[in-house]
Amino acid sequence: MKEIINLIEVSSENLPTIYCDLDGVLVDACDWHRIALNRALKQACDYEISPEDHYSTFNGIPTRVKLQKLTEMGKIDEFSHELVYKMKQSMTVEIIEENAVVRPEKQEMIKALKESGAVVACYTNSIRKTAKLMLEKTGVLDMFEYVLTNQDVSKSKPDPEGYLFLMEHFGFKPEDTYIIEDSPKGLAAAHASGANVIQVKNPDEVDINLFKEELL
């Protein structure tokens, strides 16, 4: 459920820091990852993940973790992981290039937050290459103070390591931190960090209306 945040009243001393997830929050890329992975799996292993299984079990976790889970489930052999991984990343880039567009409402939201004095960063379970491309195509890459990916942490979501790192990096306490997430794994990481959590269903809910109108 969306939560309306009054940034002006969050803290009497500090404006908060805002951390955004990427897939499912800034960009509607969940299907892109599923389609790319299934294309790779079909070609390499003659196997596909159903939409239901992807959203219930695999959504929001890194590709290598997905492949390990599939092996544990007896669906694919471990020796195929590297081939599928490389194919999937290549196909993801192709899909992003074909589908990602500039999102003015995201630009407006980040601009307003930064003008209010808030620190805004992005933390994603995607790899650097695809994260950078998605943010670039969306028109917000250069607007973030920091972009953290699953290649920058030892434990990806649902572990809170990435969010805790950002809090330490910027010097903010959990109570002065707001995290926007959508997937179960991302939400688990956000809650485990001790920060305030804003849960959304999809990127259409993520705009300046999440925050107080006085920021405009």
> Domain limits of the chain?
7-29+101-215, 30-99
Q: How far apart are CA 10 and CA 176, in angstroms?
A: 7
Residue 59's closest CA among 125, 129, 153? Answer: 125
In this predicted structure, what is the pLDDT of residue 69? 95
In this predicted structure, what is the pLDDT of residue 59? 83
Domain 7-29+101-215 in CATH 3.40.50.620:
no
Residue 111: what residue type? K
In this predicted structure, what is the pLDDT of residue 139? 96
In this predicted structure, what is the pLDDT of residue 3? 43
CA distances from 10 to 1, 38, 99, 178, 192 (A): 19, 43, 37, 10, 20
- Residues contacting 110, CB < 8 A, separation 6+: 120, 140, 143, 144
pTM equals 0.83
Cβ pair 203, 187 in contact under 8 A: no
Provide φ and ψ at 181, rounded to 5°.
-140, 160
- Residues contacting 94, CB < 8 A, separation 6+: 36
Q: Cα torsion for 5, 162, 204, 197, to the nearest 10°?
A: -30
In this predicted structure, what is the pLDDT of residue 213? 40
Residue 52: what residue type? E
For residue 22, give both structure tokens.
């990427």
pLDDT in tens, the chain (216 residues): 344 444 434 443 556 899 999 999 999 988 899 999 999 999 999 999 998 998 888 888 889 999 999 999 999 999 999 999 999 999 999 999 999 999 999 999 999 999 888 999 999 999 999 999 999 999 999 999 999 999 999 999 999 999 999 999 999 999 999 999 999 999 999 999 999 999 999 999 999 888 764 343
Provide φ and ψ at 103, rounded to 5°.
-115, 95
In this predicted structure, what is the pLDDT of residue 14? 54
In this predicted structure, what is the pLDDT of residue 116? 86
